[in-house]
Chain A
Amino acid sequence: MGSRASSLLREEDIEEIKRETGFSHSQITRLYSRFHSLDKGENGALSREDFQRIPELAINPLGDRIINAFFPEGEDQVNFRGFMRTLAHFRPVEDNEKNKNLTSGEPLNSRANKLLFAFRLYDLDRDDKISRDELLQVLRMMVGVNISDEQLGSIADRTIQEADTNGDMCISFSEFTKVLEKVDVEQKMSIRFLH
């Protein structure tokens, strides 16, 4: 399976993805075989249904939001490049990368990009602001059933108050970055991809 899958992947593609995402050759082939096995339609692209078929993801409270993050606006197919580009946000920041990020623009796994990814999960309407309603939706997904609506509302209010500096009762991306500046996002939004 793995060898067949990787044979479908051309060497140039791998090189390009490598350059773009920073994944290693073996990581790319490994993830390609995963991509391939998710791709039930066998058309080289994943649809939302393909993602929703992953059983664990179905019970993840943020599952739908994360699936959405894989799809560029207005599309419902994602090819392997796009798939890898999204996953690259979760690559840990390596030591040697900290210095060379000037050469090829900002890498996808930089702090800012990781934060942007998280921000987009809240920002449903993509107006670059998290409104109270948007926050409330995410909160509702994440907390248990024990909290009443008005408690949740006041939690949302307080959260916005913490972040909101210009008083528009919304959290903009810059406010979001600022309020999380002490959080070790590089570490908390990284997973280990097998080499």
Chain B
Amino acid sequence: MASSVYLCLLRAVFLVCFVNPLIQALDANVLQNPHHELEENLTGLPIVTFKWHHVQTPYLVIIWVFVAGLAKLSVIELNHHVTGVIPESGLLIILGFILGGIVWGADKAQTFKLLPPTFFYYLLPQIILDASYFMPNKLFFSNLGAILIYAIFGTCWNAATVGLSLWGCYEAGAMGNLDIGLLQFLLFGSLIAAVDPVAVIAVFEEVHVNEVLFILVFGESLLNDGVTVVLYNVFDAFVALGGPKIDAAEIIKGIFSFVVVAFGGSFLGILFAILLSLLTRCTKHIQIIEAGFVFVVGYLAYLTAEMLSLSAILSITFCGICCQKYVNANMDEKSVTTVRHAMKVLANGSETMIFVFLGVTAIDTEIWVWNTGFILLTLLFVFIYRIIGVFLLTWMLNKFRLVPIEVIDQVVMSYGGLRGAVAYGLAAMLDEDKIPEKNLIISTTLIVVYFTVILQGITMKPLVQWLKVKRASHSDLKLIEKLNNRAFDHMLAAVEDICGRIGDNWWTRGWNRFEENYISWFLMKPKARKNRDYLFTVFHKLNLEDAVNYVSEGERQGSLAFIRSDEAANVDFKKQFGSEFTDVMPDIMVDMSNYELGIENFTVTSIVKDTIPSVSLDIHGQDRKNAVDDIRAHHLLQQHLYRSRKHHRHKYSRSHFSINQSEDEVQEIFQRTMRNRLESFKSAKMGVNPAKKITKHHKKELTHKMPNGHPDDTGHLYGDKVDSAMGSETGTISGTFMRDTYTVGAGIENPVFLPDMDSPTHSSLPWLMETEAVAPSQRAQRRLPWTPNRLRRLAPMRISTCSTDSFLMADLEEHEEQPQTDHEEIRPVFD
């Protein structure tokens, strides 16, 4: 279901992708002879007509998407057999060459190209959004300093050195005669400087290097795009201005614009993240489309930044990074899953398209201008200055890092400097009037891209293996590890405090506290905020895993056995949790399991979700099947199983998934359960009349009595007493004391107390309460009354906490003294 929805989304996104080239290329052909077609059609009523030009644009777009999908499929298959020597991205480019060759062979010209607007507006955003939305935030922010240094200074360094060195070589005569000046070289340097996020993600994902190394390369590639775009714009403006007009003021303006564009973009992204988080706070009733907001707002962040000529990539990056936590907490679990999958579908699709079209674009005689000196020198400089830059910056960084970046990691980092489609897109955007050598720049950029993505991509894996780079360790999620990680954080913070040093941990902690107190409060649903303690989430996730494993284990042994054993498990755990409680109301328990295993709505998650939170499911404990339990379960199942009626609701609904549950049916199940439970109450409490009227009456009586403030009124007396007893540390002593005193009080033996006490809370219906909480909490069970003595003790206690409060507040003066005198009066009697 979800996948098909997103296929449509994907289609819609790509619908517009190729409008430009197609209109240019194909409209000309079709528009030449429309009259011819029309005339033929007029001879009679056509039953079927062939209307290619009506659909050609979307048709071609979707065909290309389809082809790209097939390409990915075949590449994956191929890779499977060639044991992954060549990275996917490289193979896709090569496949793109072949496809481009076919097109070129048919048309004698390249009609399909990767055009910059297509790339920047329709293909890139979702990749960046995906990357940032799934960014491991803690890792990212703890290495943010290093990432920023690489992204800003590394990129500037690359741009400057490559541009200047090429210019030097050109002046020295290594490239023959070209119409190109220093500024153009710097412009070229700036567009070729940035490491490309798409290429880096594609290659590094397959290599599995350790997480710090990954985040450094990955984070750098994401953030340096902002830098490149700014540099590119600045130099582009400089080229347009022309050399002589550039003075110190313009350069300062350039630097200033860099700051504004980069930080403005990031800030805009954060604003949109806040907007998105707030939006998801209130989408409770339109869950079906809340997942869409993530994409729409992300894309809005991108386009708005583009409109304001801020860094669009930085904007969408920070939007994704900042919103993920709150969005995931606010949205429904299903929507979160939808977003995750849709994000991956979109990002993977675009990535495939980009690589295929990078290949297709190359098969075109128009763009190729060969200049051996320029191209080879560019390759050399790009490679060498990346290495020098990385080692230089790392050397400086290592002076401040707790864990220095190792030499091997530095080698991989410099080797991982892959250039990609962003560089090509920027090159293709150049203005031919201002830069006469545009085609040379494009072809050089393409060569650099192919060289880095294919050659360096292929050699990356062997290099990583050969250098024995620390790999990412795939450890199982363990509660104890998480617990200790947290303990470590506290320890480090404490030690820093003791040393009197304001260090990283101090900042982290300060931020966390601020985040916890203010930001979460502002951006998260109160409900989401409540149950999101980190450790508990981990615990819950682990238990979910166990439960799913348990179910699939059961399924493997045969479906019937599985159902039965699950039933047994339910009964089992209830036994475990309320051994005394079960004799009071065994039916309720089983009823609940019936209700849950509802015949047609038999989903694993519903069971899992409901049983897990309060109870750890011990798989192995359930293996020993208890025959008695089994039979009993069957028996009860037969008795209580609800057979569903036919219902007239439609099977399809646009806005709801679970439409099969008719409300009548639910109602009836509910009523049945209720009735059963009442009966079981009756039978369990012999001689107790569960009539509700009496309860009410009794309560009324109490409230009538109390305002009079008679000191011998039992409800009142015990109310105060229990309150004071709760406060004191000697709970047990006062407990017994109370029970004893109670028997002396007047009117206590009145049985009307009891039914009232049967319900855990008198304000709502008892059966309702139990249906919601599958397993009554241990504490609740412990407190539940099952001996007459305790029943009596509990009744006034509850009344005191609930109904006498307001009364107590009203005449406070009078009752402040009262309890104490009561104490003293009664104590001597029992001592």
Chain A residues in contact with chain B, CB under 8 A? Answer: 31, 34, 37-38, 51, 54, 56-57, 60-63, 66, 87, 90, 92, 95, 117-118, 121, 138-139, 142-144, 146-151, 153-155, 157-159, 162-163, 179-180, 182-183, 185, 187-194
Contact A138 B487 (CB under 8 A): yes
Beta-carbon nearest neighbor of B613 in chain A: A151
Assembled-state Cα–Cα distance A138/B497 (Å): 20
Among B478, B486, B494, residue most surrounded by chain A Cβ atoms (within 10 Å): B494
Beta-carbon nearest neighbor of B404 in chain A: A95
Q: Which of B501-516 contact A (CB under 8 A)?
A: 501, 503-506
Contact A182 B473 (CB under 8 A): yes
Contact with A142, one of B402, B493, B535 (Cβ below 8 angstroms):
B535
Q: Which of B579-624 contact A (CB under 8 A)?
A: 613-616
Contact with A162, one of B404, B478, B491, B494 (Cβ below 8 angstroms):
B478
How near does chain B come to A182, taking the closest CB pair, in angstroms?
Answer: 4
Contact B490 A148 (CB under 8 A): no
Is B134 in the interface zone, CB < 8 Å from A? no
Chain B residues in contact with chain A, CB under 8 A? Answer: 402-404, 473, 475, 478-481, 483-488, 490-501, 503-506, 530-531, 533, 535-536, 539, 542-543, 613-616, 777-779
What is the total of A-B residue contacts with beta carbons within 8 Å? 138
Among A34, A87, A142, A185, residue most surrounded by chain B Cβ atoms (within 10 Å): A142
Note all chain B residues with C-beta closer than 8 A to A185: 488
Beta-carbon nearest neighbor of B546 in chain A: A158
Known contacts A92-B403, A146-B533, A182-B475: A154-B539 contact under CB 8 Å: yes
Known contacts A60-B490, A149-B779, A179-B480: A90-B495 contact under CB 8 Å: yes
Contact B535 A139 (CB under 8 A): yes
**Majority secondary structure of chain B interface residues (helix, strand, loop or mixed):** helix
Enumerate 25 A-B pairs (CB-CB under 8 Å) in ascending A order. Answer: A56-B506, A60-B490, A60-B494, A62-B494, A92-B403, A121-B487, A139-B483, A142-B487, A142-B490, A143-B536, A147-B535, A150-B614, A151-B539, A154-B539, A154-B614, A154-B616, A155-B479, A159-B479, A162-B478, A182-B473, A183-B484, A185-B488, A187-B402, A190-B403, A193-B499
Contact with A143, one of B485, B488, B533, B616 (Cβ below 8 angstroms):
B533
Contact B497 A54 (CB under 8 A): yes
Note all chain B residues with C-beta closer than 8 A to A157: 616
Contact B481 A183 (CB under 8 A): yes
Contact with B481, one of A31, A182, A187, A192 (Cβ below 8 angstroms):
A182
Beta-carbon nearest neighbor of A46 in chain B: B498
* Contacts A146-B531, A162-B478, A187-B402 supplied; 15 other A-B pairs, CB < 8 Å: A54-B497, A57-B497, A60-B494, A66-B490, A66-B494, A121-B487, A139-B483, A143-B535, A154-B614, A159-B479, A179-B481, A182-B473, A189-B492, A191-B505, A192-B504
Contact B533 A60 (CB under 8 A): no
Note all chain B residues with C-beta closer than 8 A to A92: 402-403
Assembled-state Cα–Cα distance A147/B136 (Å): 26
Beta-carbon nearest neighbor of B489 in chain A: A188
Note all chain B residues with C-beta closer than 8 A to A188: 485, 488, 492
Assembled-state Cα–Cα distance A23/B486 (Å): 26
How near does chain A come to B520, taking the closest CB pair, in angstroms?
Answer: 11
